[in-house]
A and B are shown apart, each in its own frame.
Chain A
Amino acid sequence: MINEVIGDFNPWWTNPNAYPPARPNRRDLFEDLYAHLARADEHRAIVLMGPRQVGKTTLLHQLGDSLLRGGVPRGNLTYFDFSDDRITEAVSPRGIVDTVSSSLDKDKPRFFLFDEISRAQRWDAWLKQAVATPGHRYLVTDSAASLLREGSTESGPGRWDEFHIEGLSFAEFLRLQAAPDEGLEEVLGKIPNALVRYLMGGGFPEHIGNDSPSEVRRRLRSDIADRAILRDLARRKVRDLGRIKDLFVYLVQDSGAILDVRARAEALQVGGEGADPRSVLAWVRILEETRLLMPLEQRTGSPAGRLKRRAKPRVYAADHSLVWAFVASADPLTDPRDKGRIYEAVVFRHLRDVARAREGTLSYFRQDDDQEVDFILEALSARVAIEVTSSREPEERKKVRLREAGKAVKADRLVLIHDGFTNKEEKGILLIPLRDFLLDPARVMGA
């Protein structure tokens, strides 16, 4: 039976006109992954991690399509999804690798694209050895929770390179809807209220084009709460799933707040008893591993300016759409607090890209309860203090506070992202509309 499933996944082995079902528009990560895969002499695998629904499988299909069109012999590309419903018993990745197409060219490298690898038997031990096989290139994916908890942290270093994929950036969201040769400005013109649509569900490719916000919210809640948390974590034998789910909902609804473990432990009552704060902390870690939540460390105002690791982290929804999906109000953009949370989450998501690309760090600054900056980006020897407001026009008070806090953290640049139209430098602060920042965050941070 397994041979039939393999055959079904790889129709190009027998049909010269068959290709993986690839969509034309690609995520930014595609080029990096393709370049890595193409290094056929390297004995390292690629592990692609990211939460559910962000497009990992689509990326694999696109990579497979490009490999075949780039000249890889048809029998030398193997795709397999270990989460396929037809598979009723644990499958060994070795068994898949040993299944050889009659059109295999033994003199050329073989490429293996394995989806949901953690469903495979002893995948990490196998991959550790498999990467040493000459001429074999492996790219495996899974939701981060499974990988991080089971294998990659113990076995990974030196054996594979980790790539993280998040929800779509705003530019990716637009590009996915672009016609060939269409620029971002043109796409902005053709998608009605593009930024609102992006904020409501655009991080998840599946929901692009869905015209019903209430349906998008319902589906996101179901996909995330029922599948990513309850089902996936249950498979990992994590206990107390009900309370973990409640904790997740709370943290997303209060995205960007400082994590107060004790208060949360008291709130998560079962049978009249609160939870153990240590358990709450452990649950937060588990949720962070699912990549659905993102912590942001605090930075002190000390001369050394060190990060206070795990001191008072803020916890953000990894994708702004999650805030939209889980908050109570019917139209979150009309509720100033929800709107603020959504704006901060989307800015944080884009700053992470910048920090990753520049090998920088991100933190927030808070001192004496009156000096505060939402984000501090430190990269390429520069420190940028970034404040976010959902007001149409940034208030003077906000600017004054940003200048003072910027002085305290010795920031080289100050950026205030807002909901208006003003795009200019004003007394040392770059005022930039949210949309302009999202279109090119790297330029805004580096200018």
Chain B
Amino acid sequence: MSTPKPPLGKRESLKLEFKGRDALKDLSRIAREVVAMLNAEGGEVWVGLAEGAGAAVRVEPIDDPDMEARRLRDHLIDTIEPSPRDGEADVESVPAEGGAVLRVRVQSKGAHRPYAQMRKGEGRVFLARVDERVVAMGRKELEEAFRAGHSSRGQDDPIAHARQEVLDAREKARKASQGHLWLLIKPVGGSEVEIQSPELRELLRDPAATGNRVHGWNFAGGYEEPKRSRGMITHGYPSGPCVEVHRSGELGFHIPLPVLKHQQGGAREIWPLCLMEYTTSIFRLASVVHRGEALLRREAHTFLVDLVLFNVKGWVLRPYSPNTFGFTYSVQKPQPFPDDEFALEQLLAFPHQEMTQEPDRCAFRLLVRIYEAFGHDEDKIPKEFDRKTGRLVLAS
């Protein structure tokens, strides 16, 4: 396959859009174009090509294009509903004069229409592309799109089905809730895990087997015996962290909020490193379980992830790493969470490769949502989450 070239000199059209490098400072500007193309006939959005009089006039090379591509990909998955998948919005870096630019290839699949852009404070915004412009979809267009999408999806859309199951599980957890973090990773596509295997027990006992710290804040522990019951294996404490691995490959995790505290923190303060490490450890477990080695009989193609903080009203999450001055001497007083619970507005979706190869990055995307809920931007997530490598690295 030949390497694509930036379409310098070409004009914007129904299927072509150019954005300058600055668009990366506000990714929603790019997501807007992608949603509009998904609801129309697809196309390409180029980022890093300055536009003049409707044409691409100049290359604006992007620093660290791979990282920016990943960031944009995550943003699109997180803020477009339903999440683009199966090549619906592929982001790639393309060599250009002086460096590289990004290309988003959008393929419109009628079955999933209409797509919406999730916007803070505005909810879902439905957009479509008409010529080179983006317009809000009218009521009639929306009704048609929903009708068409529903009839072609039918009742057997596995992702829609899995999403409903996750929401049902969330409801069940809500009824039993006493103030805890609840996390669910649900494989889609019929995976099956050998829950009786000694390897799985070892994963639950030995934190190092999933790349976690032996003394760290994680689900694993060598001094508790994993228990098997009705199609799943559980490991943990009723009063502490507890993980469930189901035969279906689903992973559930819950942990009381007080366990996320630290003696150096306040009485109702979630300790950032606790939150990060517990969360990441579950993704690492999912990664190993679903890598298709000894444990797996059938592989999933996608994973849906849900998270709820139940009874979190009044809890705080301070920005930055506890190992920095910014944490201790933050000018801004952390605001107690105002609502009874925080739940993801939209489930996160991860392709199989991402979940199994880059579990920490998947966890990071979830953490971005949690920090956002507490009023913090992504850069306030502790530096122990190395943005370059995408790995959580804590003191050994």
Contact = CB atoms under 8 A, between A and B. Distances in A.
A218 to B, nearest CB: 11
B239 A190 contact: yes
B237 A213 contact: no
Interface in B78-115: none
B396 A214 contact: yes
A185 B239 contact: yes
Interface in A147-204: 177, 179, 185-186, 188-190, 192-197, 200
A215 B395 contact: yes
Contacts of B263: 177, 208-209
A213 B223 contact: no
Contacts of A419: 222
A196 B217 CA distance: 12
Contact of B221 (A177, A193, A333): A193
B393 to A, nearest CB: 12
A193 B214 contact: yes
A179 B239 CA distance: 13
A244 B395 CA distance: 32
B65 interface: no
Interface in A201-236: 208-209, 211-215
A330 B240 CA distance: 29
B215 interface: yes
A189 B223 contact: no
A331 B395 contact: no
A220 to B, nearest CB: 15
Contact of B258 (A188, A190, A197): A190
Interface string B35-73: 000000000000000000000000000000000000000
Contacts of B216: 192-193, 211
Contacts of A194: 223
A433 B221 CA distance: 14
Given A197-B215, A209-B262, A189 B394 contact: no
A435 interface: yes
Contacts of B225: 421
B223 A435 contact: yes
Interface string A328-372: 001101100000000000000000000000000000000000000
Contacts of A193: 207, 214-216, 218, 220-223
Interface in B184-230: 207-208, 214-218, 220-223, 225
A212 B396 contact: yes
A189 B222 contact: no
B238 interface: yes
A214 B395 contact: yes
A200 B215 contact: yes
B382 interface: no
Given A197-B215, A421-B225, A433-B223, A211 B273 contact: yes
A185 B273 contact: no
Contacts of A196: 214-215, 222
B285 to A, nearest CB: 14
A201 B239 CA distance: 24
Nearest to B259: A190
Interface string B117-132: 0000000000000000
A334 B236 CA distance: 22
Interface string B260-276: 00111000000001000
A434 B163 CA distance: 44
Contacts of A213: 215, 395-396
B394 A211 contact: yes
A331 B240 contact: no
A189 B239 CA distance: 5
B241 A192 contact: yes
A188 B240 contact: yes
Question: How large, as a class, is the contact surface on chain A?
Answer: 20 to 34
B262 A189 contact: no
The interface centre, meaning the residue of B214, B241, B263, B273 with most chain A CB atoms within 10 A of its CB, is: B214
Interface in A425-440: 433-435
A195 B223 contact: yes
A194 B259 CA distance: 13
B239 A192 contact: no
A185 B240 CA distance: 10
A189 B241 contact: yes
Nearest to B260: A190
A188 B241 CA distance: 10
Contacts of A434: 223
Interface in B139-190: none
The interface centre, meaning the residue of A197, A209, A213 with most chain B CB atoms within 10 A of its CB, is: A213
A192 B215 contact: yes
Nearest to B218: A192
The interface centre, meaning the residue of A193, A195, A434 with most chain B CB atoms within 10 A of its CB, is: A193
Nearest to B237: A189
Contacts of B236: 189
Nearest to B256: A190
A17 B222 CA distance: 47
Contacts of B273: 211
A334 B239 CA distance: 28
Contacts of A186: 239-240
Contacts of B218: 192-193
Contact of B240 (A190, A200, A208, A334): A190
Nearest to A211: B395
B274 to A, nearest CB: 8
Interface in A117-149: none
Contacts of A188: 237, 240
Contact of B264 (A192, A197, A209, A433): A209
A196 B208 CA distance: 13
B238 A189 contact: yes
Contacts of A179: 258
Contacts of A208: 263
Interface string B272-283: 010000000000
Contacts of A195: 222-223
B394 to A, nearest CB: 7
B237 A185 contact: yes
Contacts of A435: 223
Nearest to A176: B263
A229 B256 CA distance: 44
A434 B222 CA distance: 11
B395 A212 contact: yes
Contacts of A215: 395
A212 B395 CA distance: 5
Interface in B236-251: 236-241
A209 B238 CA distance: 22
Nearest to A212: B395
A190 B223 CA distance: 14
B237 A333 contact: no
Contacts of A214: 395-396
The interface centre, meaning the residue of A185, A211, A212 with most chain B CB atoms within 10 A of its CB, is: A211
Contacts of B217: 192
Contacts of A189: 236-241, 259
25 contacts: A186-B239, A186-B240, A189-B236, A189-B237, A189-B240, A189-B259, A190-B239, A190-B240, A190-B259, A192-B221, A193-B207, A193-B215, A193-B216, A194-B223, A195-B222, A195-B223, A196-B214, A200-B215, A211-B215, A211-B216, A211-B394, A212-B395, A213-B396, A330-B396, A434-B223
Q: 10 closest pairs, A vs B, by CB?
A: A189-B240, A189-B237, A212-B395, A189-B239, A421-B225, A190-B259, A435-B223, A186-B239, A196-B215, A192-B217
Given A189-B239, A211-B273, A435-B223, 11 more contacts: A185-B237, A186-B240, A188-B240, A189-B238, A189-B241, A193-B216, A193-B218, A196-B222, A213-B215, A213-B396, A214-B395
